Chain A
């Protein structure tokens, strides 16, 4: 059922060849056209569909799924009554091996997002794309781009070179806090540095997709245990497209072993689950589909409530959640309103 104030916390705006040219300085435009991207080795898992997209999301204009604003309005924003959509632009720019190129590309992506999306469609907001493997460059881009009110978060991808709690990434979180922005960590990323699992590379896309939740788990553990929230008590983190069914068991597991091993981490003044409750938000897609939908209620309960759960569709990807059909469990009206819009309005400060 459509909800009055639907906020879709995960929509993907896609680049097309040449889209960034107007936004790249000559030195990097030449580099882009001659050498192009490098640094996405290792993860060759063809997705379930071309461009990982819904088969019906290819615009009649001939642009690829997610690249056509008019079609986004027509197929998605208008029919579902989306009040706000948060764009998370998935691009290899953020993890290019050449840090100067990565920084230039990310800046260009952000300027493209402003000009071609945010300025044209008042319902849209976006995440600041940054070259996160070079924290200083990433922080600089955050400081530069945050001025535009259309940016509501910093965007990172979950498969990083090292766990995000490690000190090398701290300047990114400091910049986010400095600019009053949450940090969104989204499904995807990786550049061949770490295999998808602790035992190397699996064979099949279904394993790749399923394994993403484990990457999210490792990041939650790292951010909590490294004490990032002790250092940055205002930091808010959004886990985007990771699912959330695994979160309660992870909270319990962290708490159990922290209780035994607390002397290794004296900088933690509270149980790990307390940090999770206070600092993490999750988006709903890909929503869990337990055999008994009421088990979702138990998950919410074990997470400590429904105030950190934010609806998302992942438009235009194949594992899209339809706002009318996802979360097929009876929820009190006020909880439904929270999840489908209220929590996001509050987190992102949307009017």
Chain B
């Protein structure tokens, strides 16, 4: 795997996202509560650009008429048919075992070091903190 610098931590603040191209793949990078997650930008259902969907919370229920609403900002709804994915794992809500989107490891790196970090046309400086996606 190679690490790719996709932006500074300032650029992708809590609740924000950035969509990048890495090796011909479109990948969405999300900041949820200060932690970074990266998902392939293709819905396994019908190929929509999943990472452009709405970020919302998780609605669950113990019984008809009762609602629990939690994990705001952690559930990504596909912009087409609304399938729900857990941003932190890439798994779909309705079928976590078998329906999922590829999730990539991320890390936050400070300072600039030569290779294996590939900054795709992204200028880097020594003092900044960068978000790195490992593909």
Contact of B79 among A55, A319, A321, A326 (CB under 8 A): A55
CA A56 to CA B80, docked complex, whole Å: 8
How many A residues, CB 8 Å from partner? 13
For residue B114, which residues in chain A have a CB less than 8 angstroms away from its CB? none
Q: Which of these, B46, B47, B54, contacts A55 with CB under 8 Å?
A: B54
Give the chain B neighbours of A49 by CB distance below 8 A: 82
10 contacts between A and B (CB under 8 A): A54-B48, A55-B54, A56-B48, A56-B49, A56-B79, A56-B80, A318-B80, A320-B81, A324-B47, A325-B47
Counting CB contacts under 8 A, is A307 at the interface? Answer: no
**Chain B, interface SS category:** loop
Contact A318 B81 (CB under 8 A): yes
Find out whether the CB atom of A322 lies under 8 angstroms from the CB atom of B79: no
Cβ 8 A contact of A320, one of B49, B52, B80: B80
List residues of A whose CB falls within 8 A of some B CB: 48-49, 54-56, 318-322, 324-326
**Overall SS of chain A's interface:** loop
**Could you tell me the distance between the alpha carbons of A320 and B46 in the complex, rounded to whole angstroms?**
9
Count of residues in B whose CB is under 8 Å from the partner chain: 12
Residue of B nearest to A56 (CB): B79
B57 at the interface (CB under 8 A from A): no
Q: What chain A residues lie within 8 Å of B53 (beta carbons)?
A: 55
List 6 A-B pairs, minimum CB-CB distance, nearest first. A55-B79, A325-B46, A56-B79, A322-B46, A325-B47, A48-B82
Rounded to whole angstroms, the CA-CA distance of A54 and B43 in the bound complex is: 13
CA distance A320 to B49 in the complex (A): 13
Q: Which residues of B contact A322 (CB under 8 A)?
A: 46-48, 80
A54–B77 Cα distance when bound, in Å, is 11
